[in-house]
Amino acid sequence: MRSLLLPFTLISALVLFPTCSCTMMNNNGPNHNSSLAIATTSSLVTYHKGPLLAGPKSINVYLIWYGLFSPMQKSTITSFLASFNPISHQTPSVSTWWMTTQAYRDLGGRGVSSTVRLAGQASDIKSSLGKTLKRADIAVLVRRAISSKVFGVDQNGVYLVLTSQDVTVERFCMGSCGFHDNLAVSTRVRVVYAHVGDPATQCPSLCAWPFAAPAYGPPGQPVLRAPNGIGTDGMVMNIATILAGAATNPFKNGYFQGDPLAPLEAVTACPGVFGAGAYPGYPGKLFVSATSKASFNAYGAGGKVFLLPAIWDLVSMSCKSLT
């Protein structure tokens, strides 16, 4: 299973893109480039000749809400997923961020799909498998949703299980902020599934940094204000990371560095980098809202703003951030 390693993490939306009332801030960090160590190790991200979630089909995301989520959490996350498709709006945007994955191509020369869409949702409010889950239980939930025809079989889909803050999942907050894997739904068909949890109470310092004080690393950097709440923004960052990894390395033989069972992928190859000048303990230059004082680097649908991690760019051979 591919984990989102810790750094040092059917709804239509009304598409609104606000005028920026924000400034670019250093967040009290000095002005210098991303660390050489990141560039040196990330340059080893290579293609292992396997299939990708490639275009022209869209990547369809099927959400399973496991546990109790607030309407605001659901609205923010579905707005984020509605933000991937390129349309004319204020930049930098979620769709701008996703464009970096287009350089990841399969043996046929097809790039990762340029479109991501929310294709379906299901809720398990009562936490039917309990509130202490094994990773294998995530696969059980996905298999059950497919076998009961809540969702169809989609080989270009990602079946994403989101767990609420009162649900614990094996290895979540203990070396991982989420993971993606694949499972067989028939003798010839495998599908991609994933998990991301709400870190608000379990491990905000690990899976919602820089919106919470880091558990490790140099002290003294101020905690940034989250635009949508610490737990929700932590989930958004980790969903972004997992989707990029699932699209570029869905079956353990795509793009990665290192051990295929614990690889560094498109985003995890750039740990802790969110803006220009990032270094361990400092996320880099970001926008700061003049009204809410929240930090972000991407505009999205529904009037939302988000903080998205850097992606390893195969064109420039560097960690590419939006700001």
pTM here is 0.89
pLDDT at 10: 28
pLDDT digits (tens, 9 = 90+) for 223-262: 999 999 999 999 999 999 999 999 999 999 999 999 888 8
pLDDT digits (tens, 9 = 90+) for 136-191: 999 999 999 999 999 999 999 999 999 999 999 999 999 899 999 999 999 999 99
pLDDT at 20: 52
pLDDT of 62 above 80: yes
**Strand ranges (DSSP E) for the chain?**
2-3, 22-25, 46-47, 59-66, 116-124, 132-133, 157-163, 168-169, 178-184, 190-197, 255-256, 286-289, 295-296, 298-299, 305-306, 311-313, 318-320
Band of pLDDT at residue 2, cut at 50, 70 and 90: low
Task: Evaluate if residue 208 carries a pLDDT over 70.
Answer: yes
The more confidently predicted of residues 22 and 301 is 301
